Amino acid sequence: MSGTVGDRDSAQWWERLARGEFVVQECDGCGGRRFPARAFCAGCRAEAWHWVRVDPVGRVETWTIGHRPFPEGTVVRIRLAAVPDATVFGGWAGERAPEYGQRVAAVLTTDGSRPLLRWRPRSG
Ligand SMILES: [Zn+2]
């Protein structure tokens, strides 16, 4: 696939994202979940793992406002609810500026060839 980014493990993550699946790794040794993709578990050192789908929700941890017109100006860093020690970057899809600790959900789209991950405010 052209436009694939990242190493072997993260390439699989992007492929799944392109299909609308938001996944993290789950360790076959201890059951710990991790993101971004790594070859082995930092907790128990096991190398066996599988993907598991999780709710793509979390909270805004911080953000930066870019000065380029493309892609989108604001990039947020999200603390994943499903994996509390993991953060995910993405574009901002809110109508107003993000707020610290704001609850968000992922918006999965593509730009035609690559998956795009953005985050929008969610209530509750
Ligand atoms: Zn483990």
The alpha carbon of 26 and the centre of ligand 1 are apart by a number of angstroms equal to 8
pLDDT band for position 1 (cuts 50, 70, 90):
very low
Domain ranges of the chain: 8-121
Percentage of the chain lying above the pLDDT 70 cut: 90
The residues, ordered by sequence, that sit 6+ positions from 85 with a Cβ below 8 Å of its Cβ are 34
- pLDDT confidence of residue 124: 61
The alpha carbon of 88 and the centre of ligand 1 are apart by a number of angstroms equal to 20
Helices (H) and strands (E) in the chain, counts: 1, 8
Residues with CB under 5 A from ligand 1 (ion): 27, 29-30, 32, 41, 43-44, 46
- pLDDT confidence of residue 110: 84
The alpha carbon of 23 and the centre of ligand 1 are apart by a number of angstroms equal to 17
Convert the pLDDT of each residue in 69-121 to its tens digit: 555 589 999 999 999 989 999 999 998 999 999 999 999 988 888 888 999 99
Match 């574009």 to its residue by tokens: 91
105, with CB counted inside 10 A (0-12, 13-18, 19+), is middle
The mean predicted confidence, pLDDT, of the chain is 88
